[in-house]
Structure 1
């Protein structure tokens, strides 16, 4: 009976040692007597204890390797470029990935260095920023071709960071600031020019309207004087006498307007109590003499 228990115990131990599980997105390499035997996928698996041995496991997940490369551009600027490589073991080539390549990280890093240092020196610093996607594509194509042989698939490559030398960054910032200040000055100059032009246009329009107003005012004054002369003619006063009377009336109106302004320093000459009377007599005499002279000239032409 004791022997039976021993046998059962040994069988249980062997079963325990021969059963193992494989996680999702993982492949297990099983060797038999040191030689590759099989590749086991996820789930419950069985191996022969002592005879079979788990040599290692390979992750089938997408992995990322960040590579920092220092290189020089065409215009002799030293920069650091960070390239992120996303790769995955090809499910049907787990054997190649496990046995053909000892360290995939070092291999991918070497290819990234080689491509970046071949592509970036062809470009100027500004072009590196603009063509970073082209650099990433060049890296992917080169690494993809090389790593497929070892059972690796390059999913994507990204240039995630471009870091120039610190002094270069300061210089670029100064250049950008100067460009922005230049553009701002141009906009300010354009704004000032527009303000000056609009102000000149406004002043010209104001002068035009002012002149039009003065012309309208004088036109209305002339109409008023004409109407006044017509009224005076209607009561038997001649045009010459009416004109003289209107002038005298305006003279008194002017004196009244000046007197209504307190503190006025305007002096009207001549200014005497008999000024208006003398002005009226002078104007009537002048009109009469002019009329007589005109009549004599007409008589001479008629004779």
Structure 2
């Protein structure tokens, strides 16, 4: 019975020791096993076994892609202080877990130091505007430097990105003012072009209007002349000669004008002469004028004939 009570604790201890010899490694994780303080092996995902008491799990490394954000403050070629945020994506190389675990204790510090070194070597060669344009070149330079240095420590640099460029606040305000001034300048140019186009189009419209107006006046006068010609022909048929017909038409238009003025209640137009005898005097004067004009014309024709006969 005493032996039985002695064996039970030993069995329990043995069971727990046996149970502790098994362990599980998760996916995308590597365990480093040491035996008496010396590297023994690297265990990958799955159910693993180690010798109890002799072997121990010294450390764990993630095989997933990790990201480290580094903020670097430096000065550009045109003496502008600027902060750059560089994002470094890196991963432990599966076949170099030993180097990653034993050769480099603080990978974040090592990567940060290289990023600072490269950025502060590249950015001072550029002006501020070039930093924004050539940020990909800065990222490539950082990756190239890191890739070469970190491979020896078991790390692979997947990608580097310059994710933010933050100049000094006063510089940003000045840049915003410059951009606003440029936009106002462009807006003023567009407004000027629009005004010029409106003026040109308005001038074209006015010219076309004047042309059409002139054409209308010409057509109107042509029709008036045609009407006068027909009126003279009608009067000639009833025995009134052309001079008397023309005078009669003018007098008729004179009275038509007086009638038109009389129909306007708010007009302040005065037609002179405007006496009762004005129509008859105008008719007599015009007939006399036409007769004298014809006589002078006949005399000039006869004079030219006589000279031609001589």
SS, match of residue 203 in structure 2: helix
Distance 1:276 1:85, change over 3 A: same
Match of 1:249 in 2: 252
* Aligned counterparts, 1:1-303, within 5 A: 1-2=3-4, 3-300=6-303, 301=305
Distance 1:57 1:274, change over 3 A: same
Q: How far, CA to CA, are the matches of 2:21 and 2:202 in structure 1? A: 98
TM-superposition CA deviations, 1:216-246 (whole Å, max 9, x none): 1111110100010111111111111111111
Structure 1: tracts of 5 or more residues without a match: none
Q: How far, CA to CA, are the matches of 1:247 and 1:39 in structure 2? A: 127
RMSD, aligned CA: 1.4
Q: How far, CA to CA, are the matches of 1:270 and 1:10 in structure 2? A: 146
Deviation at 1:27, TM superposition (A): 0.6
Deviation at 1:194, TM superposition (A): 1.1
SS, match of residue 273 in structure 1: coil
TM norm structure 1: 0.96
Deviation at 1:199, TM superposition (A): 1.4
Q: How far, CA to CA, are the matches of 1:68 and 1:182 in structure 2? A: 36
Distance 1:79 1:230, change over 3 A: same
Deviation at 1:25, TM superposition (A): 1.0
TM norm structure 2: 0.94
SS, match of residue 193 in structure 1: helix
Q: How far, CA to CA, are the matches of 1:297 and 1:54 in structure 2? A: 142
Q: How far, CA to CA, are the matches of 1:228 and 1:122 in structure 2? A: 97
Distance 1:297 1:175, change over 3 A: closer
Q: How far, CA to CA, are the matches of 2:9 and 2:300 in structure 1? A: 169
Distance 1:282 1:30, change over 3 A: same
Q: How far, CA to CA, are the matches of 2:301 and 2:108 in structure 1? A: 127
SS, match of residue 45 in structure 1: strand
Deviation at 1:56, TM superposition (A): 0.8
Deviation at 1:141, TM superposition (A): 0.9
Distance 1:296 1:140, change over 3 A: closer
Deviates more, 1:207-216 or 1:73-82: 207-216
Deviates more, 1:89-98 or 1:235-244: 235-244
Distance 1:299 1:14, change over 3 A: closer
Q: How far, CA to CA, are the matches of 1:115 and 1:298 in structure 2? A: 112
Q: How far, CA to CA, are the matches of 1:143 and 1:211 in structure 2? A: 84
Q: How far, CA to CA, are the matches of 2:57 and 2:16 in structure 1? A: 17
SS, match of residue 161 in structure 2: strand
